[in-house]
Structure 1
Amino acid sequence: MKNLKIIFILLTLLVSTSACANQDKDYKVTINKTDKDSYKIHVVGSSGNEIRSITYKNLKLANKWILQFNNGSGAETINKSGEPSLNIYEEAFYAILQFLEENEYERINKVVYDLSADPSTFNFVVGKIKESLKNKDGKVINKDKQLTKIMRSSLLDGILVERTCEIASRLEYQCLKNKVGTLPIAFQRSYLGKNWDELISQAEVGLHPSLTFTVNLE
């Protein structure tokens, strides 16, 4: 009976060790300090997918810590498996939150994505904008208040924001009531001054490729 008990304990330890080892193989996070209160993070996922040069830094005036997945900040996504980009961002975001918590870094207050980061979210936003352009008068301009509002409200219903908030909640974060932030809407220069309805037939309704949005956490 005593021998059986010892065997059971050994098997339990073996299973636990194996589980930890598999979990560690799911992702690899490395972080390098680039300046005071500024870092670059590199995540390699379970399928060999990578996101390189993710910026993690302190916004000094607001005293907020921001995580930037957007290309304009230098981040680069490498999709080796061909899986949906949404999965890659989910895996990377969860890995980073865990890493920062385990290594006692500051908590994240804002997460920045390119508007086009997740195709399903981006297509949803484009669809809503197209609907609003059918009866819109005037010429194409940047910073249109109505379209900026539509872009933001569409993002609130998008799956990337939903998943970001879900993942954050697993690690004792929550999305703020005002959970999505955007800069004013902007269009590619070649479309400025044209009639609004001309954008309906254009790829991505002429949106500027540098557009980003922010998910706000606490």
Structure 2
Amino acid sequence: MTLKIKVCGITNEKEMKEIEKLDVDRIGFINIERSKRNVSLEEIEILEKKLLNKRLSTLVLEPNNAYEALLKANRTKIFNLQLHSLTCFDIRYMIWLNQYHNGERLNITKVIGLRDKINRKDEKEIKNHCLYSDNILFDYVKDGKTGGTNTHIPIDTAIEASRLVKKYDNRTEVTLAGGLNLEYLEEIYDKLHYFDRIDLNSGVEDKPGRKNIKEIKKIIKLVNEE
């Protein structure tokens, strides 16, 4: 199975260096004040400098506007952005604005929150964000917020959402998030091929911001099985 793995919510150098050695394609640093895994931009800059493979870095934001997101990307030199806010028009503007700020192309992951069923509003949001995002990440939405909820999206709902993304733009990648842990991934193993990537965060922690490396290794072994 060719399934990419992102580990999000990295808060310290020791775990970052251990995870960097594993078969992962993204490492996420969260700069969102409400998050239990929030890391300041100053700390992210320090951690990112110690990362050997800079292409792994993802900056996770919930910006008020496109300019704020771009400023943080320019400051940290991290151009893989995961956005928990902004409309598709904001993202289009940010991509346009980026042309005049640096030579690096932005890689945009837009987070879309789902509950138990997909409604018309969800489908419209999926369709609109496929236009300007490289990747759509589906997470469970709780109290109007996504990220760190430790709650699974019903797998059939997630599959339906993934099919919608591929229907509107087959080039857009789909990431499954939402409290993913080893036990649950074993349960839905036969359905993981509907997704391009899984996002590991709260489901592989001993406590917020402290990853269980052994659990992550077991998940990597699972998804790499033929």
Provide the TM-score with structure 1 as the length reference. Answer: 0.29
Structure number with greater Rg is 1
The higher relative CO (CA closer than 8 Å, separation ≥ 6) is in 2
* TM-score, scaled relative to structure 2: 0.29
